[in-house]
């Protein structure tokens, strides 16, 4: 796909982004026709923790592995583009979540987070977020006429059902969780996210 498709246009901004976040398009929500791409200044990858039940046998303590849990929230700092459409798209998406109660559509999306080098070439790591939707409409600070060279950012919190960890070879992402010997309840969604959205340098 064209690297400019669905990419918000910026001026007077450095090119050494470290994270490229690409959402699957939700018809009627985003202005982009194919995908919605965020150039993030800062982001996080969800921590996963396995619970365990401890018990004693013949005087020794043993542990029994239990369910996996995570925070359920993904945080990202986004650059505000000149048109402000990124922020408005998030606000529209926030309210569309309520429509799921009316027509059965979830209005959730899946996302690929791809790590970039400082020279904007792609790395061999990517992460998938499953069933993403906005958890808040963030405040925007720094709206003034004092500093025309500065960048305005806003921080978003997204609710997430699952995260997967992958390695990139060429244009293909292979996820640890796609291994058939591993139980992963979102294999169908993961199968849609096996190609990196943007393979060129920015």
Domains, the chain, in order of start with CATH, read: 19-193 (2.30.110)
Write the pLDDT tens digit of every residue in 105-145: 788 889 998 877 666 566 788 899 999 999 998 887 766 66
Residue 192 has pLDDT above 80, yes or no: yes
Residue 94 has pLDDT above 60, yes or no: yes
Say which residue, 197 or 63, is predicted with more confidence: 63
Q: Rounded mean pLDDT of 49-72?
A: 89
> So what's the pLDDT on residue 97?
87
Can you read off the two tokens belonging to residue 148? 């025309």
Write the pLDDT tens digit of every residue in 29-41: 876 555 566 767 7
> So what's the pLDDT on residue 131?
92
> So what's the pLDDT on residue 1?
39
SS3 of 95-121: HHHHHHHHHCCCCCEEEEEEEECCCCC
Whether 116 and 20 have beta carbons less than 8 Å apart is answered as yes
> So what's the pLDDT on residue 79?
78
Q: Rounded mean pLDDT of 156-173?
A: 90
Q: Rounded mean pLDDT of 14-34?
A: 68
Residue 177 has pLDDT above 70, yes or no: yes
**CA dist 57 to 62, 67, 99, 185, Å?**
7, 22, 52, 33
> So what's the pLDDT on residue 159?
93
């Amino acid at each position: 796909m064209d690297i400019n498709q669905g990419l918000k246009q910026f001026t007077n901004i450095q090119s050494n982004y470290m994270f490229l976040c690409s959402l699957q398009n939700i018809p009627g929500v985003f202005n982009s026709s194919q995908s919605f791409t965020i150039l993030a200044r800062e982001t996080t990858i969800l921590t996963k923790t396995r619970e365990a039940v401890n018990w004693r046998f013949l005087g020794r303590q043993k542990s029994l592995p239990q369910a996996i849990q995570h925070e359920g929230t993904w945080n990202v700092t986004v650059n505000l583009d000149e048109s402000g459409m990124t922020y408005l798209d998030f606000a529209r998406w926030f309210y569309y979540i309520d429509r799921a109660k009316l027509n059965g559509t979830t209005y959730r999306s899946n996302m690929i987070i791809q790590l970039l080098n400082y020279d904007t070439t792609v790395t061999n790591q990517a992460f998938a977020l499953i069933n993403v939707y906005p958890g808040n409409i963030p405040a925007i600070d720094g709206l003034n006429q004092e500093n025309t060279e500065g960048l305005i950012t806003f921080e978003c919190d997204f609710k997430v059902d699952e995260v997967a960890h992958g390695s990139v070879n060429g244009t293909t992402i292979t996820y640890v969780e796609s291994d058939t010997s591993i139980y992963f309840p979102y294999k169908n969604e993961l199968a849609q996210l096996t190609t990196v959205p943007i393979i060129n340098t920015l």
